[in-house]
Amino acid sequence: MMPQRRPQPSAHPDALLALMDRWPKSWAVIPKDEAVGRDLTDLMRPFLEHLHQQNLSAKTLRSHLDNLWLIGGEVIRKLHDYSARRKKNSRTLLLDAISGGEAPLIADFTERQQRSVDATAGKLLRFLCVPAERC
């Protein structure tokens, strides 16, 4: 009988969370975008910690991290497409972006790449909306 394979340790959450510190500046088109970006990363951090606790592989965690960056960037981009959205709080902006458990369409992404971002969006939505009253 072969021994069961143990899951490989995933990337340390502090290293992944530290990468998120740069996101607000990378998303910002104008200075006030950074405040929204900081709020978005504050909403996403507990989700990434939750994923880490599930003992996912480092590669899977990194994929989710990259997808979160894309989702946040799309939220900021839409602020410039629809200025009325600036009146909404960051949580509402994020929930609007992932409503239905799908991410915004990412330009020039293949169907496979979009499915990956959608999978992260679905997990994030379920995380943010438990218990359901939080949505």
Determine, yes or no, domain membership for 43: yes
Identify the burial level of 16 via C-beta atoms within 10 angstroms of its C-beta, where 0-12 means exposed, 13-18 middle and 19 or more buried.
buried
Taking only the tens place, the pLDDT of each residue in 96-135 is: 999 999 999 998 999 999 999 999 999 999 999 987 666 7
Taking only the tens place, the pLDDT of each residue in 70-103 is: 999 999 999 999 889 999 999 999 999 999 999 9
pLDDT at 8: 43
Determine, yes or no, domain membership for 116: yes
pLDDT at 52: 92
For a pLDDT cut of 90, what percent of the chain falls above it?
76
Q: CA-to-CA distance for 32 and 21, rounded, in angstroms?
A: 16
pLDDT at 48: 94
> For the chain, how many structural domains are there in total?
1
Task: For residue 98, give its domain range.
Answer: 31-134
Determine, yes or no, domain membership for 54: yes
pLDDT at 17: 87
- 11 pLDDT band, cuts 50/70/90, is low
pLDDT at 130: 81
Determine, yes or no, domain membership for 13: no
Determine, yes or no, domain membership for 11: no
Determine, yes or no, domain membership for 24: no
Determine, yes or no, domain membership for 2: no
pTM: 0.87
Indicate if the pLDDT at residue 10 is higher than 90: no
Determine, yes or no, domain membership for 74: yes
Q: CA-to-CA distance for 40 and 23, rounded, in angstroms?
A: 9
